[in-house]
A and B are shown apart, each in its own frame.
Chain A
């Protein structure tokens, strides 16, 4: 059954973002603001960097604002002026990514001006950006979202979120379904999924945490992961990607959204997140930890699997 999701607050949120961005830019608190602007197609949105208060009117927030803008601060837009603070519009899931990046010393909190957005959810796909947000079109990550309201921002519009219908958690259900399979079937499932991969590395480029200057998978001496889009190399790439994100992934699901071959990449990330929560009690959140679960240890860690 299709249930509507109430996004009526987004108009007020847009107004609040505009006036706040204009204010901090005029007062010189920030040198630039990274946010969303309407794109050419009706209803669509795209990332924008503004440095003039006059451009603040371009900023919007709608259900088509799917991007995680955190990526613009680590690698995509390194040329964003380094002087002064940078303002950034963040949804709850994006803020978790920023917090993770702060923990890894990629960003400094005092160099950011966070404009938080109360978010009721965004679209799965922006192929048809002008669709209504319903329980059918909402992104799977938003179905299990626990961060509709970002915490610890410099500015959050005082707009109360409307009560939303309880939605079925798709990732948890799919993980449970896979876990119940015998290993052979699971292998067959992933083999089929990964064989679709064309090694475009869009998942890597869009991930705020894949910020290595030189990726292990691009190196050829030694070549750890085959670069051609053959099944063997694809499998290795996706396992390495999931492993490198284990305990770091904030769950923004951008990898899955940008995948042109529709590989359920976030399933691997969610699975690793739940395992790490179970093993080491770690979860991506709003508190900056300078040690992730795999960069620290305790002497009492489980070693029942070691002889």
Chain B
């Protein structure tokens, strides 16, 4: 039943922000149908894609995610009627902003997965995991988090001189 588990050098961390009504149910269907998909994905359930603030994506990257998936109901199927329409606009803008500050958008995937699309969930997760695996770890935000406060570095000649005079 279980396919043979492959060994990889790098196992990416994928955070999936999903809506409870469609994609979460779709992922649940994939599970109950015993479909196999990479265990790299960590699913976080939200009431609606409209609830997913772009800052969550940022936070996920900062806390060490290598890839982020945002998934919800197909347009027109939102449980709250228009939540995913608003989310669609917001994420279209947020993508552009991330691109402009230099984030590789291949690490960020948006998708519509309905409660009946267990197969599509498997496909989306597998694709993203393999894509991110090929790209390697997300270094930018991790390096940023490791860096010290700017004032902790004494690097200008004036500051050095002042420091030496103490």
Name A residues whose Cβ lies closer than 8 Å to a Cβ of B: 178-179, 183-191, 195-196, 198, 216, 224-225, 228-232, 235-236, 239-240, 242-243, 246-247, 268, 271-272, 275-276, 279-280, 293-299, 301-303, 305-307
| A299 close to B148 (CB less than 8 A) | no
| B58 close to A239 (CB less than 8 A) | yes
| B55 close to A240 (CB less than 8 A) | yes
| B97 close to A242 (CB less than 8 A) | yes
Is B1 in contact with chain A by the CB < 8 A criterion? Answer: no
A206 to chain B, nearest CB (A): 21
Binds A, one of B24-32, B33-41, B105-113: B105-113
Is B75 in contact with chain A by the CB < 8 A criterion? Answer: yes
Residues of chain B lying within 8 A (CB to CB) of residue A246: 93, 97
| A279 close to B92 (CB less than 8 A) | yes
Residues of chain A lying within 8 A (CB to CB) of residue B92: 279, 301-303, 305
| A301 close to B89 (CB less than 8 A) | yes
CB-contact partner of A243 in B54, B62, B75, B99, under 8 A: B54
| B112 close to A306 (CB less than 8 A) | yes
- List, sorted by A's number, 16 A–B pairs whose CB atoms are closer than 8 Å: A183-B102, A186-B101, A198-B151, A224-B59, A239-B98, A240-B58, A242-B97, A246-B93, A246-B97, A247-B93, A275-B97, A296-B89, A297-B88, A302-B92, A303-B92, A307-B110
Residues of chain A lying within 8 A (CB to CB) of residue B101: 186-187, 190, 235, 239, 268
CB-contact partner of A228 in B58, B96, B149, under 8 A: B149
Residues of chain B lying within 8 A (CB to CB) of residue A184: 102
Is B163 in contact with chain A by the CB < 8 A criterion? Answer: no
Residues of chain B lying within 8 A (CB to CB) of residue A299: 75-76, 85
Is B95 in contact with chain A by the CB < 8 A criterion? Answer: yes
A186 and B89 CA atoms in complex are apart in Å by 24
CB-contact partner of A268 in B62, B82, B97, B148, under 8 A: B97
B13 to chain A, nearest CB (A): 17
| A196 close to B100 (CB less than 8 A) | no
Nearest residue in A to B109 (C-beta to C-beta)? A307
Nearest residue in A to B124 (C-beta to C-beta)? A307
A197 and B133 CA atoms in complex are apart in Å by 33
Is B46 in contact with chain A by the CB < 8 A criterion? Answer: no
A307 and B120 CA atoms in complex are apart in Å by 10
| B147 close to A272 (CB less than 8 A) | no
- List 18 additional contacts besides A186-B101, A280-B89, A297-B89; criterion CB under 8 Å: A187-B101, A216-B55, A224-B55, A231-B145, A231-B147, A236-B58, A236-B62, A243-B94, A271-B100, A276-B93, A293-B93, A297-B85, A299-B75, A301-B89, A303-B92, A305-B91, A305-B95, A307-B110
| A307 close to B93 (CB less than 8 A) | no
| A187 close to B103 (CB less than 8 A) | yes
Is B10 in contact with chain A by the CB < 8 A criterion? Answer: no
Is B140 in contact with chain A by the CB < 8 A criterion? Answer: yes
A299 and B88 CA atoms in complex are apart in Å by 10
The verdict on A297 contacting B110 (CB below 8 Å), with A279-B93, A307-B124 known, is no
Residues of chain B lying within 8 A (CB to CB) of residue A268: 97, 100-101
A198 and B149 CA atoms in complex are apart in Å by 9
CB within 8 Å of A: which B52-67 residues: 53-55, 58-59, 62
Is B51 in contact with chain A by the CB < 8 A criterion? Answer: no
| B150 close to A229 (CB less than 8 A) | yes
A228 and B101 CA atoms in complex are apart in Å by 21
A230 and B144 CA atoms in complex are apart in Å by 8
Nearest residue in B to A261 (C-beta to C-beta)? B150
